[in-house]
């Protein structure tokens, strides 16, 4: 006995076949999508272009000017001190730069002047200066640009909606045509060859470079504030010396006039004394102008009205003096500390990453696209299931022929990277030169200062002797005027040398790149790679 199997109705078979035929493209699209995702996952770590390696630039083991040296003036002073060793306080001159292999701390170098007003001015300037604020804004800008560059690593989602109504004239009858649609489209470009990741890498380096630029602006600012402040106090010291000398010369003029009236002197002595008084008085307006100019400069550095600090700084205050000896540290430490060197190294890293960005354009781009849309000619049926359409699947694009523009762009970025490397090397050399120049200038000004101090001591003793002899009628007045003029010149030279000594010391601190560590108001987003260490190797080119 056989049992017959029920036969499937022809209509059902047709429906099932149609469903299978309709599902086939969906299954194919799903397979392709999964394949693309799998390949993308396998190649996610693949990035074209060179990997960055910090360059190695040879630097000396020690600053040449940090070694003990002897100048011509120092040799003469050594002989003078030995010949006059019986004088109290006579000491052998020493170098102003200390050679050391230990790391030096320059975080708050201005504290070495022990001047609370200078400390206050620098602290306020860091918070208020417009140039520093611009540099801080550029750091924030670089961080936002990094977000823009990294956005393609995540899927992009777009919503759209629309409504149209049109008329179709047909046989003099106007038939309205309406269409409503709403949908969501998503796309994701799979960064298989790492072009976007290289762009993000470059953006990270640009953030670091912006931070170093901000630090460099701070170093420049603090150096300018300290320089203007020292020049202010130096001008006030020179003004005090001038007024003191003017008072002494006026006293001498009065004495000369009295002696002339008594018949001891003559009118030529009075005329010479008056000429000296007027000559000294003529220097006062220029010094007063220098004082006001320094106050104006300090006010602008603090981003206030040029006359805002007049009441605070107009009152004379002693010229602060820095330490007699400065540790220079090591050249290898310098290239890791100076922000301009660090910024040049970060710019080189960014240029290297940009080569990868350009190289990625040689390869195809793969994207995964998906969309869900509702569309209907009748608004009330817009959200019906039957009005829904969807799509999903991968896509690829490949710029096969570009007339060599892609390869040329790669070469452009190669040259930019070479320029960045040369700029870095030049920056390192310039920084070493800055320090060497600053050290020798400061060291020689120390010797000059010692010589001026000896000159002032001798001029004071000469004037005292001349004035005593003149008072006793044992010497003519011309001898007094000459010695008094020499004393005034020595006093002015001493005040000027003390000012210059501090100016040169500020130049040393600035050249060494200190000060940004303690006052950094914007920290870098990522870790900044250390700059080059000393090596005899040449820079590695990717």
Helices within 302-338 (DSSP H only): 310-313, 331-337
Region for 9 from its dihedrals, namely left if φ exceeds 0, alpha if ψ lies in -120 to 50, beta otherwise? beta
Buried b (16+ CB within 10 A) or exposed e, 250-276: bebbebbbebbeeeebeeebbebbeeb
Please give the sequence-ordered ranges of beta strands (E in DSSP) within 351-459, or none if there are none: 365-376, 388-397
Which distant-in-sequence residues (6+ apart) come within 8 Å of 539 by Cβ? 55, 56, 57, 421, 424, 425
Give the pLDDT confidence score for residue 533 in this predicted structure: 38
- Between vectors from CA 536 to CA 530 and to CA 538, what angle results, nearest 5°? 75
pTM (two decimals): 0.78
d(CA 314, CA 312): 6
Q: Give the residue among 445, 209, 478, 165 at the shortest CA–CA distance from 321.
A: 445
Give the pLDDT confidence score for residue 242 in this predicted structure: 92
CB 104 within 8 A of CB 329: yes
d(CA 292, CA 73): 36
d(CA 352, CA 201): 10
Which distant-in-sequence residues (6+ apart) come within 8 Å of 141 by Cβ? 210
Q: Is the alpha carbon torsion for 129, 134, 135, 141 positive or negative?
A: positive
Give the pLDDT confidence score for residue 245 in this predicted structure: 87
Give the pLDDT confidence score for residue 5 in this predicted structure: 46
Q: Give me the residues of the chain with pLDDT under 70, please.
A: 1-45, 65-104, 167-176, 265, 379-382, 385, 387, 517-542
Q: Which residues pair with 185 in a beta bridge?
A: 158, 371
Task: Measure Cα distances from 78 to 70, 74, 450, 505 in Å.
Answer: 10, 6, 11, 24
d(CA 224, CA 132): 13
Structure token digits, residue 424: 């870095």
Structure token digits, residue 259: 């002696």
430 burial (CB, 10 Å; 0-12 / 13-18 / 19+) is middle
Give the pLDDT confidence score for residue 521 in this predicted structure: 47
Give residue limits of the domains in the chain: 43-50+57-64+106-511
Question: Domain spanning 43-50+57-64+106-511: which superfamily?
Answer: Outer membrane efflux proteins (OEP) (1.20.1600.10)
d(CA 63, CA 96): 13
Structure token digits, residue 370: 């998906």
515 burial (CB, 10 Å; 0-12 / 13-18 / 19+) is buried
Helices within 338-404 (DSSP H only): 339-359
Structure token digits, residue 332: 């290898």
Q: Which residues pair with 189 in a beta bridge?
A: 367
d(CA 129, CA 232): 19
Which helix (H) or strand (E) element contains residue 64? none
Give the pLDDT confidence score for residue 103 in this predicted structure: 60
d(CA 492, CA 245): 10
Structure token digits, residue 136: 């801080």
Which helix (H) or strand (E) element contains residue 84? none
Give me the half-sphere count of Cα atoms (radius 13 Å) on the Cβ side of residue 525.
Answer: 20
Give the pLDDT confidence score for residue 229 in this predicted structure: 97
d(CA 258, CA 474): 17
Pairing of the two strands 173-190 and 365-376:
antiparallel
């Amino acid at each position: 006995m056989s049992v017959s199997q029920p036969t499937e109705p022809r209509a059902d078979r047709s429906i099932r076949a149609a469903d299978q035929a309709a599902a086939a493209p969906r299954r194919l699209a799903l397979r392709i999508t999964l394949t693309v995702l799998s390949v993308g996952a396998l190649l996610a770590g693949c990035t074209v272009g060179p990997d960055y390696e910090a360059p190695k630039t040879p630097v000396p083991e020690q600053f040449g000017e940090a070694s003990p040296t002897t100048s011509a003036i120092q040799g003469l002073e050594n002989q003078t001190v030995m010949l006059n060793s019986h004088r109290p306080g006579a000491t052998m001159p020493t170098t102003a730069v200390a050679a050391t292999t230990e790391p030096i701390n320059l975080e708050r170098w201005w504290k070495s002047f022990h001047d609370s007003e200078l400390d206050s001015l620098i602290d306020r300037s860091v918070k208020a200066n417009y140039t520093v604020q611009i540099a801080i804004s550029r750091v924030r800008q670089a961080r936002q640009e990094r977000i823009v560059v990294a956005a393609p690593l995540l899927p992009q989602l777009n919503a759209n909606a629309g409504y149209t109504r049109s008329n179709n004239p047909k046989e003099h009858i106007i038939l309205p045509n309406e269409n409503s649609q709403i949908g969501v489209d998503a796309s994701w470009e799979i960064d298989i060859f790492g072009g976007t990741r290289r762009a993000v890498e470059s953006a990270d380096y640009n953030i670091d470079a912006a931070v170093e630029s901000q630090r460099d602006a701070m170093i420049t600012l603090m150096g300018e504030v300290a320089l203007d402040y020292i020049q202010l106090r130096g001008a006030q010291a020179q003004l005090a010396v001038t007024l003191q000398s003017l008072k002494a010369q006026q006293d001498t003029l009065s004495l000369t006039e009295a002696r002339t009236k008594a018949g001891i002197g003559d009118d030529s002595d009075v005329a010479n004394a008056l000429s000296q008084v007027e000559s000294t008085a003529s220097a006062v307006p220029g010094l007063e102008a220098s004082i006001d100019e320094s106050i104006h400069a300090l006010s602008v550095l603090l981003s206030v009205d040029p006359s805002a600090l007049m009441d605070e700084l107009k009152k004379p205050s002693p010229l602060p003096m820095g330490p007699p000896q400065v540790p220079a540290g090591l050249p290898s430490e310098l290239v890791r500390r100076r922000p301009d060197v660090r910024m040049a190294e970060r710019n080189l890293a960014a240029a290297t990453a940009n080569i990868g960005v350009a190289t990625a354009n040689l390869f195809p781009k793969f994207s995964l696209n998906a969309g869900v849309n509702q569309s209907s000619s009748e608004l009330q049926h817009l959200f019906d299931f039957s009005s829904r359409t969807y799509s999903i699947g991968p896509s690829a694009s490949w710029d096969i022929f570009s007339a060599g523009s892609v390869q040329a762009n790669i070469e452009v970025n190669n040259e930019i990277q070479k320029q960045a490397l040369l700029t870095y090397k030049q920056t390192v050399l310039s920084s070493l030169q800055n320090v060497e120049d600053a050290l020798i200038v400061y060291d020689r000004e120390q010797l000059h200062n010692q010589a001026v101090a000896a000159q002032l001591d001798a001029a004071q003793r000469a004037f005292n002797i001349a004035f005593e002899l003149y008072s006793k009628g044992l010497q003519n007045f011309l001898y007094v005027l000459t010695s008094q003029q020499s004393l005034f010149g020595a006093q002015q030279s001493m005040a000027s040398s003390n000012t210059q000594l501090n100016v040169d010391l500020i130049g040393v601190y600035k050249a060494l790149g200190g000060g940004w560590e303690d006052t950094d108001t914007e920290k870098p987003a990522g870790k900044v790679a250390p700059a080059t260490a000393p090596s005899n190797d040449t820079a590695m080119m990717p």
